[in-house]
Structure 1
Amino acid sequence: MSKEIYQLFKGELRGLIQGLQRRSFVTFNQENYFDESRKPIEPFTQFSEHYLYESRQLEIMSESASLILLPIEGELSIQTGETNRTISPQQILVLSPNQLIHIGNCLPLETSRFYTLQIIDDTLETGIYSFHLTERNELIPLLESGVFQLNLGLYDGRKEGVQPVNEKKHLFISIINGVFEVQNRLMETNDSLLAINASEIEFEALSENAIILSLAF
């Protein structure tokens, strides 16, 4: 049996890309940010948190991987070519590779917060997918293909969970909100853990309304 390997990515050590329009915190190497310990593992090539102020816009490229947008707070307008879409929390948007994407904040009096993930997977279909976090204390499937499985869960304090890895070799866990104990490690908002060759990951929420994201690939 292969040895289990864990790598912890602390939120405060993420790379910062900042401008008049936005703040972006990148977990893996991106644009001008590079750290030898922060190389992505294909097919998972990007995991970043973004904040857009007022009516600001962000322009990004989906490069050679499919781009997944996950809004957490606020409403986003997305323009690709001549196509315009609007997405809100409890929706995700999948966009195909090699596209120039304009992301705008629809609520001028609020700051929007959202995540982007890039995954090399040519089987993903472009579109908006809705989900509901009404079922608390369990992982809700967001997207799944032959390459990866993406889940999100909303947990009450002291509630426990288990994420099996199944046939995947890697499992990426990120804390979207609150505090968890993950595999005997204390993790707070925007801390992430990459597990390699683990059969499952055990976690426990240590705060109310804690949100955890898992990506098996």
Structure 2
Amino acid sequence: MAGNAKAIIHLNDNRGHLENEWMRSLVTFNFGNYKTENREPFGSLQVFNEDTLAAGKSINMLVEENTEVLIVPLTGTIFFKDHTGNETYINPGQVQLFAAVKQSSYQIINPYENEELVNFLQVWLYKSETVFIPKMQLFNFDLSQKNQLHTVITASDLNQQAYTFIGKYDGRQKGIYSLQNKNNGIYCFVIEGAFEIQDRLLHAKDGLAIWDTDEIDFEALSNGAIVLLFEIPLYCNKFAV
């Protein structure tokens, strides 16, 4: 079944680039002023941005539809605040879930006073159904246990049948992931190192969308390689941010 899978690679160097004096955003899908061919969202995965924010600066985001917002710090601690006044610090080793009803807003702040940059992922999973439960929740993960995928977020935590996993691997260690729902798709993002996933070579900050398969196989090609994996619904009635 894995051999029949279809896939699209999103290389690091081909991501959209939005930047000003104090913020840089590298976007995988069409977002904001970045519009190009063949960068439509992948199923319910509407936004996949890697942002870098200068010390003391903040960004404000508006969610126009019911959306599960996942914030994943890569370097440094960030401060998160939503439109209702809920706020929290998010550290590396944590994922923030903000289930945001349409027309919600939130703010991400670099709390450092000196020249320290913060680097983080913003991941938006769109939910088309009208039944949507808003929430804010912080999830922890521990990569000290290597060579396995760790479950971070399950479908019971979300408003949809989506899952989030992360794993840290030694070189030449292999793994197989079997989908919870064979109608879903998989999005893999390499945070560090290099992997071969479904016979495709991916380096740090490369992404891979995979569908039409029951499982995927992968192999780490470097020590300390880290992969982030999302299983997400493929079909929704919104295909543009």
Could you state the TM-score of these two structures normalised by the residue count of structure 1?
A: 0.93
Letter in 1 for 2:98: L
Pick which of 123-132 and 146-155 moved more: 123-132
Q: Is 1:114 aligned to 2:120, yes or no?
A: yes
Q: Hey, what's the Cα distance between the residues in 2 that align with 1:25 and 1:12?
A: 9
Q: Is 1:86 aligned to 2:89, yes or no?
A: yes
List gaps (5 residues or longer) in structure 2.
Answer: 233-241
Per-residue deviation at 1:125? Answer: 3.4
Maintained 8 Å contact 2:168/2:224: yes
Q: Hey, what's the Cα distance between the residues in 2 that align with 1:63 and 1:95?
A: 14
Per-residue deviation at 1:51? Answer: 0.7
Aligned to 1:160: 174
Letter in 2 for 1:33: Y
Letter in 1 for 2:28: T
Per-residue deviation at 1:84? Answer: 2.1
Could you state the TM-score of these two structures normalised by the residue count of structure 2?
A: 0.84
Letter in 2 for 1:132: D
Aligned to 1:178: 193
Letter in 1 for 2:170: D
Identity %: 26
Per-residue deviation at 1:124? Answer: 6.7
Q: Hey, what's the Cα distance between the residues in 2 that align with 1:62 and 1:131?
A: 26
Matches within 5 A, 1:1-217: 4-64=5-65, 65-81=67-83, 82-97=85-100, 98-107=103-112, 108-121=114-127, 122=132, 125-145=135-155, 146-168=160-182, 169-217=184-232
Maintained 8 Å contact 2:73/2:91: yes
Letter in 1 for 2:53: L
Q: Hey, what's the Cα distance between the residues in 2 that align with 1:189 and 1:123?
A: 34
Deviations 1:48-98 (A, max 9, x none): 111112222122123311211011110001122322211101111111323
Q: Hey, what's the Cα distance between the residues in 2 that align with 1:124 and 1:8?
A: 32
Deviations 1:4-23 (A, max 9, x none): 31111111100011112211
Aligned length: 217
In structure 2, the residue corresponding to 1:189 is in which secondary structure?
Answer: coil
Pick which of 89-98 and 29-38 moved more: 89-98
In structure 2, the residue corresponding to 1:126 is in which secondary structure?
Answer: strand
Letter in 2 for 1:115: L
Give the number of the structure with larger relative contact order, counting CA–CA contacts within 8 Å between residues 6 or more apart: 2
Deviations 1:103-125 (A, max 9, x none): 11123332111101111243573
In structure 1, the residue corresponding to 2:29 is in which secondary structure?
Answer: coil
Q: Hey, what's the Cα distance between the residues in 2 that align with 1:35 and 1:141?
A: 33
Per-residue deviation at 1:215? Answer: 0.6
In structure 2, the residue corresponding to 1:132 is in which secondary structure?
Answer: coil
Q: Hey, what's the Cα distance between the residues in 2 that align with 1:53 and 1:177?
A: 22
List gaps (5 residues or longer) in structure 1.
Answer: none
Maintained 8 Å contact 2:25/2:51: yes
Maintained 8 Å contact 1:62/1:118: no
Deviations 1:30-60 (A, max 9, x none): 0111122110033111111111122221221
Pick which of 121-130 and 165-174 moved more: 121-130
| RMSD between aligned residues | 1.8
Q: Hey, what's the Cα distance between the residues in 1 that align with 2:94 and 2:202?
A: 25
